[in-house]
Amino acid sequence: MNTEKFIDTDTLLRLQQSISRFGVVNVITAAFITGALALLLDYVYMLYLRSKMPPGPIPWPIVGNTFLLPDSKPWIYFEKLAKDYNTPLITFWIGRNPTVWICDAWAASELLDKRAGIYSSRPRMIVFGELGSGQSNLVTMYTRTAEERDRFRVHRKLMHQGVGVQQVRRYRKFQNDESKIVAYDLLSSPEDYVMHFERYATSVVSIIGFGRRVSTWRDPIITEVIALMHLAADLNVPGKRFPMLMETFPVLAKFPNKIAPWKHGLGRRGRRRGGSHDFFYSLADEANKTPGHEDAYAKMLFREAPKYNLQPQEISGLAGNLFGAGSDTSSSTLITAVLAMRAFSETLLPAWEELDRVVGTQRSPTFDDEPNLPYVKAFVKEVFRWRSVAIIGGQPHSPTEDDYYNGWLIPKNTWIQGNVWAIHRNERDFPDPDRFNPYRFIKGSADGRPFPGERGYMTFGWGRRVCSGQALAEQGTFITVARLLWGFRFDPALDENGNEIPVDIFNYTNGLNMRPQLFKVKISPRNEEIRRTIELEGKQALEDLAVYEGETQYRLSTFYKA
């Protein structure tokens, strides 16, 4: 008898379902085991790399050390880690990616200056690279291949033609005049010193770039563009919040913009409706089409565009970098200078003595006075050292090949950041580092210490990625700080009860380009003769700068709505 005839249909169905369920369970189990094994192997590799790289906290799988990041000012945390591990370099894992933080001047000089040939590239960056200006901007360009290095050299050359060491000497006349107007404006509204500095710095780069000055701090080009620079600085701080969390988990950048509010790409804000180009390109194009001022940087870019096959987004990047390199950073440095003058009033006495002897009261300082003002020059250097604006040295570097330092491995494509905060506060190089002390930079002074590089500070970065606007910033900061020291007192402001309002030398913003939070100070002319000189020079400077008067039709706040 055939027993199969007696197996009913329900039994067969149940048997098939059991086999099917068993298969699904097997698939799920196999996938889980495979995933767990892959995670384990990945973590083992992370720990292996950690054993070869500079010391630092033990990372967790996938998230690394990201959870340890403070909510603000991570450079202070990294300085502490370097001290705890007693090492010039530390490794901190942002997700699965190790970041090497250099907290020592000599290590920074050895790696980023002396080995610039392999440390001048950028790592993969999501926020400021793939979602930002990418390979069309000098700041974020890779230099990993011959083609990339050639393009980098083109952009670097074009920036040097605008703000290189030799070029900026041509700008001294109007830079000095704009500085005179700062002093003139401080006579009538000293409480608005921040806005006066912002106007000055923005006007200088606007004359260089577009042939027109910024005559009032109410000009939208100041308020809107500097706000954009502040946003960029805030977004660029390593952290565990969006958008920088995308650097930890790059997959988040692949979400469509409509369902991904954390995507804050800055460089590619898009084009205006109707297909015209972006804001900085349009400013440059407008300047190029405006008669006169043939030496404006924008006109040079358009003249050179066919030779170098410059694309519109590249012109935009080069023009926009002028603001990035010269407006927010320069004004922030001047605000720091005033904070130092207010908090360390004893440092003003030697400056006043030197300026009274060399300059007198019938004129203000000029660039020709610089060789005879060693203390003022040292004062300016200490401003750059004491509270550097680009506190983590700008965008990260990345080696194009595996490298070693003190026996530690620095793998190819690793993020390398210079912690300028830690470098400039190292007790070995700068004893009592939070004290503002210009004598650190007086040759032969007992307060001086050896330091790599002739300048004695690392404010502007390193190697081939050093800030393009360094010469312009140093030149402008010298003449403006010298004029402030020559012309004014910086006394404590008083509250309604007549009590001095204190200032906090640590109360700075959290952005990549940090500046002091607003503080109150009483700024007044040193004497009546100096006041009269400031008035005379200010009025003359306004007449001399009239040739640069003009107005742009563009407003950043409405540009992309047009």
**Location of structure tokens 């210490």:** 449
Spatial distance between the Cα atoms of 101 and 106, rounded to a whole number of angstroms = 13
Give the lowest-confidence range in 22-31, 45-54, 249-258, 454-463: 22-31
Per-residue pLDDT, 15? 55
DSSP 8-state secondary structure symbol assigned to residue 300: H
Residue 233 has pLDDT above 80, yes or no: no
Ranked by mean pLDDT, the top range of 118-132, 133-147, 470-484 is: 470-484
Range of the domain at 227: 138-559
Residue 272 has pLDDT above 60, yes or no: no
Greater pLDDT, 20 or 548: 548
- Is the residue at 477 inside a domain? yes
- Is the residue at 129 inside a domain? no
Residue 402 has pLDDT above 70, yes or no: yes
Per-residue pLDDT, 79? 97
**Cα dihedral 443, 446, 451, 456 sign:** negative
Per-residue pLDDT, 284? 93
- Is the residue at 550 inside a domain? yes
Ranked by mean pLDDT, the top range of 16-30, 227-241, 502-516 is: 502-516
Let me know the angle formed at the C-alpha of 394 by 431 and 298, rounded to the nearest 5 degrees.
130
Spatial distance between the Cα atoms of 510 and 357, rounded to a whole number of angstroms = 41
Spatial distance between the Cα atoms of 425 and 442, rounded to a whole number of angstroms = 18
DSSP 8-state secondary structure symbol assigned to residue 424: T
Residue 547 has pLDDT above 70, yes or no: yes
Spatial distance between the Cα atoms of 262 and 243, rounded to a whole number of angstroms = 5
Across the range 499-505, mean pLDDT stands at 97
Per-residue pLDDT tens digits for 65-93:
988 989 889 999 999 999 999 999 999 99
DSSP 8-state secondary structure symbol assigned to residue 54: S
- Structure tokens given for 356: 């009274």
Within 8 A by CB and 6+ apart from 503, the residues are 339, 342, 343, 519, 520, 521
- Is the residue at 12 inside a domain? no
Spatial distance between the Cα atoms of 521 and 501, rounded to a whole number of angstroms = 8
Per-residue pLDDT, 345? 97
Residue 277 has pLDDT above 70, yes or no: no
- Is the residue at 434 inside a domain? yes
**Location of structure tokens 């004695």:** 456
Greater pLDDT, 470 or 35: 470
* Proportion of the chain above pLDDT 90, given as a percent: 69
Per-residue pLDDT tens digits for 441-476:
998 898 999 999 889 999 999 999 999 899 999 999
- Is the residue at 165 inside a domain? yes
- Is the residue at 99 inside a domain? no
- Structure tokens given for 348: 């003003």
- Is the residue at 225 inside a domain? yes
- Gyration radius (Cα) of the chain, Å: 28
Residues of each annotated binding site for heme: 467
CATH classification at residue 371? 1.10.630.10
Residue 274 has pLDDT above 50, yes or no: no
Label residue 227 by pLDDT band (50, 70, 90): confident
| Burial track 423-447 (b if 16+ CB lie within 10 A, e otherwise) | bbbbeebbeebeebbbebbbeeeee
* CA-based nearest residue to 116, from 468, 470, 465: 465
Per-residue pLDDT, 267? 44
Measured CA distances, 9 to 14, 15, 90 (Å): 9, 10, 69
Per-residue pLDDT, 57? 97
For residue 466, the SS3 value is coil
Q: What integer best gives the mean pLDDT of the chain?
A: 89
Per-residue pLDDT, 18? 61
Label residue 273 by pLDDT band (50, 70, 90): very low
Across the range 42-53, mean pLDDT stands at 95
Domain total for the chain?
1
Across the range 257-285, mean pLDDT stands at 65
Per-residue pLDDT tens digits for 371-392:
999 999 999 999 999 999 999 9
Per-residue pLDDT, 38? 86
Residue 423 has pLDDT above 60, yes or no: yes
Q: At 372, phi and psi to the nearest 5?
A: -100, 10
* Proportion of the chain above pLDDT 70, given as a percent: 90
- Structure tokens given for 487: 């012309």
| Burial track 215-228 (b if 16+ CB lie within 10 A, e otherwise) | bebebebbbbbbeb
